[in-house]
């Protein structure tokens, strides 16, 4: 067990859980107007901590999987498709979770827009919409900057 990776994982997931408690503590009536705030601002912390878990607890994952998280993973050969290979952590753990997080993040931005149209917690949702669009633009900008390397 890597103590620094474990601390990082559990602290970042803890930040998201504590934020969820304070955002949603008033009951059901606060879920619809405040959920975009949690999704756009704080779900990122949970995502980073959760993706990092195999690096924080490699022996537990090795026991469950039967192989190391650093084992080379090669997908089944397919015709006319670019073959992507890497470690198990990269291909089978991080990539699917990153895709799911991206879709949930986009849903949070759209939800904030719908809340603005329905006049629910307008200032909060305008903040979420602006922050979400800023993060999307920044991620596309940095992806463009390091295009040949980051793909």
Write the pLDDT tens digit of every residue in 15-41: 999 999 999 888 778 888 999 999 999
| Cβ 97 vs Cβ 47: under 8 Å | yes
**Is 90 exceeded by the pLDDT of residue 9?**
yes
Domain span including residue 56: 3-150
pLDDT at residue 82, as a whole number: 65
Radius of gyration of the chain measured on its C-alpha atoms: 19
- Positive/negative CA dihedral, 36, 38, 41, 46: negative
Token pair recorded at residue 38: 């949690």
Instruction: State pLDDT tens for residues 79-119.
Output: 666 666 678 787 788 888 999 999 999 999 999 999 999 99
Mean pLDDT taken over the chain: 87
pLDDT for the residue numbered 81: 62
How crowded is residue 28: how many other Cβ atoms within 10 Å of its Cβ? 7
What's the number of domains the chain is made of? Answer: 1
pLDDT at 127 over 90: yes
């Amino acid at each position: 067990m890597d103590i620094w990776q474990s601390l990082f994982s559990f602290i970042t997931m803890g930040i998201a859980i504590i934020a969820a408690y304070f955002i949603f503590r008033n009951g059901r009536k606060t879920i619809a107007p405040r959920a975009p705030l949690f999704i756009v601002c704080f779900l990122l912390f949970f995502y980073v901590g959760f993706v990092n878990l195999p690096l924080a607890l490699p022996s537990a994952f090795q026991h469950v999987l039967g192989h190391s998280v650093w084992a080379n993973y090669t997908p089944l050969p397919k015709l006319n498709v670019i073959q992507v290979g890497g470690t198990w952590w990269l291909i089978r753990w991080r990539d699917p979770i990153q895709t799911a997080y991206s879709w949930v993040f986009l849903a949070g931005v759209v939800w904030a827009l719908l809340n603005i149209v329905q006049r629910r917690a307008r200032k909060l949702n305008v903040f979420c919409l602006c922050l979400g669009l800023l993060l999307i633009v920044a991620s596309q900008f940095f992806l463009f900057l390091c295009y040949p390397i980051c793909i």
